[in-house]
Structure 1
């Protein structure tokens, strides 16, 4: 499954680097894994051209609420960094909700993410990710046993996506190198 996530990450990088498109709705529902374990993005309905004059017809806050980047929840302009942060939230969500590849569970504390006001959700996400100890406690408490071995790897990704325990303030192309974290996790014998 990590192999597929790494491929999906690269797929999004290609979408942005080669086509200049931002997916804008990275979510569990828009990531697919084929039988040969290849991952790909689907549903480009909300995709936007990065080099544009304004957002034609799109609302400022677009995407699937639970997976939106903190800045997107505040209504800030969407960037490739927003899509990458959304990948972090998808991985976090999977680790909490999937008991194994074919069985999921409902976790009430996180189900409400789909219904909270966007600014409230942004504050919750900041509170979870800005302090490493808080994040590790939440991960240890909520990751399913199936994904518990990924806690250190997801935390490494958190440190990259939230440099200095804060959300990014300016675009950083080096953030795409965070896909190496997923690649290394795939090769970890403990995982």
Structure 2
């Protein structure tokens, strides 16, 4: 049965320490029982919080779980600018979320993403957004520098390529692609597509 959010209340915001306590408890619960079996009621019980507090801060279970994963697993993304298109894409590939050991919470989450639109949206907006933002910044910078033609159709598919490479490996083998697999795909497919046609002609050339 789907959990329904209670009516909102006007209590104050959680402290950073309290948020971390709830996120840690959420991560541990999903690791223990799996994403499908984890409930906000149980998180509330373990942390002596109200479900109203959880819904007010994180809106729903998918966003809470993805935020808990982000807090536990992934540090803030540093700036990526090596001065070279391939160097930037390789650096980003090495920053992508690493593969997880068997039994980690993400294993159940990847399966649930296919059936839960809210979870898929939370995954993109909370966990993957920094990587997509970094990719867009890289592409925009190299268009400005003339490395990529502004009319190159590959620009519209680069995000799908990056995420597709990351997740297709999961569907085929049960594990996420590691950095070396992403870099190999970048070299074989994405980089040639982005640089196809050479540099754009300068005005008046």
When the two structures are superposed, what TM-score results if normalisation uses the length of structure 1? 0.29
Compare the two structures and name the one with the higher strand fraction: 1
Q: Which has the higher helix share?
A: 2
Structure with the greater alpha carbon radius of gyration: 2
